Structure 1
């Protein structure tokens, strides 16, 4: 069982029509809301892209050089759906997923997948390094369902050296410690640094493990308390 199977599948088995992630970028004015079903489709599309075009397979180290963003959440779940390991550094990684700010660092990996993070799905265009894959343009053609080729063991590497069982247990433990439940709507302005996994566990995986929904804010500005009221937030991280 992968991290994605353990944490996302139970969420989708409940009410997949309810919001899983509501994403704001206060620098651009962007707001996008993804239901569980829609998020699951993005995970499947991304996993198919990684496997079919980037040769990501069980055990492949994949560097994720991306900010706290809904596309990052989908990419993380897709990497795990493939049975691959998420790492923080491009050096030694076979594939690196990077936004425009981190494309140069991503070049240390064998293959770069560039993320524009554009709200309207525009690619990176001329900013994309030669030989790199443009996520925004390539992911669209891939299927909304992903079938893994081989089963993944609980002892398979998943996140910065920690195995699947350890990551899943940490997410569930933090969900309990934070008092998160399936009815919660959690607002977070936290980043997800992979060098230390605590931010990712608290800011995303624990929310997923609890069956709660996430309101993630990038470049926070203005009155977050007012936003919390508008979004019917029950918890603020």
Structure 2
């Protein structure tokens, strides 16, 4: 990654320029058996489409706050980078009533209705499937995002010193987030080509860093595992071997 990168969106652009074909996020859900692997290019395309949805269709921009009510999931990672691309502050588990817009998974739809702004629902079903019927009060992400543009440019340049993420009650700017991710990557022994397997939830900085930001900052990749407790120890060992994992956060 480039020393000049000051936001997570900058980190993703550098990764795309360096090696678009390498894996970036490999996602497992051990409750459903789902496995999804996204290259840097594929992940960046999802981010661009989501950022265009956020900026164009939802009229979000710098200064807006988005309550992100999603678990550790590859689509959550996409939304985090889309927010960084637009300049929207993502609040993990944030209060929908105080947010400008909300993005909610199936378990948080009722809570998300407290938001008076735009609401987006994610089914989190394998292959990014739509809801059988759109939840009342929401737009279905799987319906809205495919038609968005594959390239993104912010209407307003993103300020690296503006709030980018709120988690654990702590607000971080894009620059602070990148600097902390770099420190975490060094602590975890990550470098270019590293593969970090994380079974940590996205409900705190440790899980977010291990499950996305630190591998991205290091030029590595993440094997993000949800419901890892469903997996037998011997199966975890096989996964670590088959996925060429170099570090773990469990």
Normalising to structure 2: TM-score of the pair? 0.89
Deviations 1:158-195 (A, max 9, x none): 011221211111111111111111121111111111xx
Q: CA deviation at 1:200?
A: 0.9
Deviation at 1:127, TM superposition (A): 5.6
Report the secondary structure of 1:146's partner residue.
coil
> 1-side partners of 2:6 and 2:18: how far apart?
19
Q: Secondary structure at the match of 1:183?
A: coil
Superposed CA RMSD in Å reads 1.5
* The one of 140, 149, 152 aligned to 2:155: 149
SS of 1:113 mapped into structure 2: strand
Which residue is equivalent to 2:130?
A: 123
3-state DSSP of counterpart to 1:204: helix
CA distance in 1, matches of 2:164, 2:68: 12
Kept in 2: contact 1:154–1:164 (CA 8 A) = yes
The gaps in structure 1 that reach 5 residues or longer are none
Q: Deviations over 1:4-59 (max 9, x none)?
A: 33321121121110111111111111111111000000000001111112111111
Asked whether 1:228 is paired with 2:240, we answer: yes
TM-score (norm 1): 0.94
What is the distance in 2 between the residues matched to 1:54 and 1:105? 20
1:106 deviates by: 1.2
Q: 1:2, 1:94 → 2: CA distance?
A: 25
Could you tell me which of 189, 195, 199 is aligned with 2:207? 199
The residue number in structure 2 matching 1:38 is 42
Cα separation, partners in 2 of 1:2 and 1:126, compared to 1, 3 Å: farther
Separation in 2, partners of 1:197, 1:108: 25
2:146 alignment partner, one of 140, 149, 152? 140
Instruction: Give the count of matched residue pairs.
Output: 234
**Could you tell me which residue of structure 2 aligns to residue 171 of structure 1?**
181
Hey, what's the Cα distance between the residues in 1 that align with 2:207 and 2:74? 15
Q: Structure 1 CA distance, aligned partners of 2:180 and 2:136?
A: 36
1:122 Cα offset (Å): 2.2
SS in 1 for 2:146: helix
Distance 1:47 1:99 in 2: 18
